[in-house]
Amino acid sequence: MEATYGDRLHAAENPDYVKELAKILKETFDKGGNVVIPSFAVGRTQEILYFIRKIKEEKLVKGHEGFPVYVDSPLAVEATGIFHKNEMSCFDEEALKHVRAGINPISFPGLTLSITSNESKEINFNNTPKVIISASGMCEAGRIRHHLKHNLWRPECTILFVGYQAVGTLGRILIEGIQEVRLFGETIDVRASIRTLAGLSGHADKDGLLEWVEGFEEKPRRVFVVHGEDSVCKAFTECLRMEHGINAYAPYSGTEFNLLTNKLEYEAEPIPIKKKAKTVSDVFVRLMAAGQRLLAVIRKNEGGANKDLAKFADQINSLCDKWDA
Q: pLDDT of the chain along its 325 residues, tens only?
A: 998 888 888 766 677 899 999 999 999 999 999 999 999 988 899 999 999 999 999 999 999 999 999 999 988 888 888 876 776 667 777 777 777 777 778 889 999 999 898 999 999 888 999 999 999 999 999 999 999 999 999 999 999 999 888 888 999 999 999 999 999 989 999 999 999 987 666 678 888 899 999 899 898 989 999 988 888 999 999 999 999 999 999 998 889 999 999 898 898 888 765 654 544 456 666 777 778 778 878 888 888 898 988 899 889 988 887 887 6
Are 230 and 188 part of one and the same domain? no
Residue 299: inside a domain? yes
Are 147 and 233 part of one and the same domain? no
The alpha carbon dihedral of 257, 263, 265, 267 has a sign of positive
Distances (CA, A) of 146 to 3, 116, 132, 185, 245: 32, 14, 11, 12, 49
Residue 8: inside a domain? no
The pLDDT assigned to 12 comes to: 61
The full DSSP string for 64-89 is -TT--EEEE-HHHHHHHHHHHHTHHH
Are 108 and 220 part of one and the same domain? no
Q: Cβ neighbours of residue 277 under 8 Å, at least 6 residues apart? A: 182
Are 52 and 109 part of one and the same domain? yes
Is residue 209 a contact partner of residue 8, using CB atoms and an 8 Å limit? no
Residue 201: inside a domain? no
Residue 9: inside a domain? no
The pLDDT assigned to 190 comes to: 95
The per-residue pLDDT for range 245-290, each reduced to its tens digit, is 999 999 988 899 999 998 988 988 887 656 545 444 566 667 777 7
Picking from 196, 218, 252, the residue at the C-terminal end of a domain is 196
Picking from 196, 219, 247, the residue at the C-terminal end of a domain is 196
| Beta-ladder partners of 257 | 264
Residue 131: inside a domain? yes
Are 46 and 192 part of one and the same domain? yes
Are 295 and 225 part of one and the same domain? no
Q: How many domains does the chain have?
A: 3
Are 121 and 229 part of one and the same domain? no
Is residue 76 a contact partner of residue 135, using CB atoms and an 8 Å limit? yes
Range of the domain at 46: 17-196
Are 293 and 169 part of one and the same domain? no
DSSP state of 7: T
Picking from 149, 172, 196, the residue at the C-terminal end of a domain is 196
Are 158 and 190 part of one and the same domain? yes
Taking alpha carbons only, the member of 1, 3, 20 closest to residue 166 is 3
The pLDDT assigned to 325 comes to: 60
CATH number at residue 27: 3.40.50.10890
The pLDDT assigned to 201 comes to: 65
Task: With H, G, I as helix, E, B as strand and everything else as coil, classify residue 44.
Answer: helix
Residue 276: inside a domain? no
The pLDDT assigned to 279 comes to: 47
The pLDDT assigned to 89 comes to: 65
Are 301 and 233 part of one and the same domain? no
Residue 2: inside a domain? no
Taking alpha carbons only, the member of 115, 7, 103 closest to residue 56 is 103
Are 216 and 152 part of one and the same domain? no
Residue 65: inside a domain? yes
Are 210 and 187 part of one and the same domain? no
